[in-house]
Structure 1
């Protein structure tokens, strides 16, 4: 069986009952019917399957963690007060898959402070932010599921800690179309958060919404920060000219220098090129809802990488407009 694929509820239940270790994504009504077992899940109706992008509420996207030993994996739920221990709880050699419910306090907590958690960046941590159908934002609540306990949660995170033998190593990869435009202005913000009113542009204070309007910035392209060579996107959610507030899908941070992303050519073609090639040993993959929308991925593949389409990707910290995957490499 392909270990990244859409399955019926009965096929998914059979894998759970067979003792497989799974990361799942699908409609709340389907996930709530699954038997207890070694799995975690989040809600979303969008996926990139082996046949291409698809929207469905009738199937569950199943990722079988083939390198995981069901006897040694550790499944935990985390609250706002305990999520800071997630990296400390992770195995010394192995990896962690975490799922957060979007628009929740724990989503905000992890986004704002995750990069400062003890032992973060020392152990591979990947995952995604569960969501809802885009037409139901503000009406439906994203959920995550702890398959071990059967709990359906809207205010906690779930994590699957996977120890690996010494002959294996987990590696996280971030595929990012965007890079800083070297000719763009340097933008800084006075505080951390998912929204901003004021900013400094090349050291000069101004209202950020007015700046975006005056420069006719394409907000389909994110702000990009350079974290010691790693390109981290912050994507635009909404620009409200009445309140002069700009909302983001991930927080901006005070003291970090941002530039607008450089223009790209054909979004779909460039994304396909970035994702092409053989990816052996992939245990987990996810792609951003903004890539799905702006890249017009419905019916189109992203190389051989398949997974849920998310309200945020996690590769140690919260990301936007990226594709994240984790593979397990074998060595002597």
Structure 2
């Protein structure tokens, strides 16, 4: 095994030269890194997305000099790579292999990002065929200047407006398992509902009474590092706060709130649940907000490694979670 070789069930930070060596060897790869580094890689069987934040083998770090590379375990039929725009994204799962999974990367702030967040629950075969992935981002100092994007390593095409998927078939004796690690849960405070689905909200219902969310948050001096949380039959799904426009009475979110879903402000779990072992994880990613709020620079998250992203995909778009993929034997 050469210096650049990695286990098919793990990923790590490496140099451009090391990643190029794996590409030249014919490996199928998922690659995260600074846009300039992605453009330096040779053509091959890989897809990538922009981000400079990582949980590497030595802990959390920001890097414009290294790439996070995950090798895909291939059995028999090769994976298929394709772009999706607004007209085709809803066919994502319908076009996935009957037995396998789909690895999806979406550029943050794009129209497909919003479309997936709002509409993925209604996609044909969603929740029947596993979908995992992440939302590409940029350095936080360059939010107003840089544009997140994805790149198809087979063609070299870079795109900031389309999502990119790798469909990975699996043999009959293996299956993909997608898991969410969420260290937050619904608190026992006020019940909050919204009149419609969207990435921002003004008016809402709090305990059944009309209110303006921005005023509610300000009056109670709410810690915006703690998101809204919905309880989907025991699965805690976070919606993180992006900001509050006090002048216009608008609250913006990193994922949509859904109409007629009950939310409460989060609290941290105290029972130790939400933690999971990384043994056997083929891929994992964690949220950039966890990286910031939990001060993960230089710290580890157990054995989990991967990009720190602008959103996590475990079927649906998530915030402030760790998502991982495991390939299990039946």
Which bracket does the TM-score occupy, shorter chain normalised? over 0.9
Pick the aligned partner of 1:191 from 187, 196, 199: 196
Question: Which of 222, 225, 228 is equivalent to 1:223?
Answer: 228
Measured after TM superposition, the shift of residue 298 of structure 1 is 0.6
Structure 1 SS opposite 2:158: strand
Counterpart of 1:151 (choices 148, 151, 157) is 157
Q: Normalising by structure 1, what TM-score? A: 0.94
Name 2:63's counterpart in structure 1: 56
Partner of 2:245: 240
SS of the residue 2:267 aligns to? coil
Name the structure 2 match of 1:307. 306
CA deviation digits over 1:80-129, x for unaligned, max 9?
Answer: 11111110111111111100000000101101111111110111100000
CA distance in 2, matches of 1:180, 1:19: 45
Q: Secondary structure of 1:111's partner? A: helix
Asked if structure 2 preserves the Cα contact closer than 8 Å seen for 1:144 and 1:157, the reply is yes
Paired residues of 1:276 and 1:302 also in contact (CA < 8 A):
no
- Deviations along 1:25-77, one digit per CA (max 9) or x if unpaired, are 00101101211111110000000012100100001110111x22485211111
* CA positional deviation for 1:277: 3.2
Question: Is residue 321 of structure 1 aligned with residue 326 of structure 2?
Answer: no
Deviation string for 1:296-332 (max 9, x for gaps)? Answer: 111111111100000000000100000000000113x
Tell me the distance in 2 between the aligned counterparts of 1:99 and 1:264: 29
**Counterpart position of 1:14:** 21
SS at match of 1:247: strand
- Cα RMSD (Å) of the superposition? 1.5
* One of 87, 91, 95 as aligned partner of 1:85: 91
Alignment partner of 1:45 is 2:57: no
Q: Give the 5 Å matches for 1:21-170.
A: 21-65=28-72, 67-69=73-75, 71-170=77-176
Taking the aligned partners of 1:316 and 1:63, their CA distance within structure 2 comes to 20
Relative distance call for 1:81 and 1:316 in structure 2 (3 A) is same
- Runs of 5+ consecutive residues of structure 1 not aligned to the other structure: none
Q: Cα–Cα, structure 1 residues 164 and 264, in superposed 2: closer, same or farther, change >3 Å?
A: closer
| Count of aligned residue pairs for this structure pair | 323
Calculate the TM-score normalised by the size of structure 2: 0.95
Which residue does 2:329 correspond to in 1?
330
Q: Does the Cα contact within 8 Å between 1:142 and 1:154 map onto a contact in 2?
A: yes
Aligned mate of 1:204, from 203, 209, 212: 209
SS for the counterpart of 1:249 is: strand
Distance 1:308 1:277 in 2: 18
Conservation of the 8 A alpha-carbon contact between 2:77 and 2:169:
no
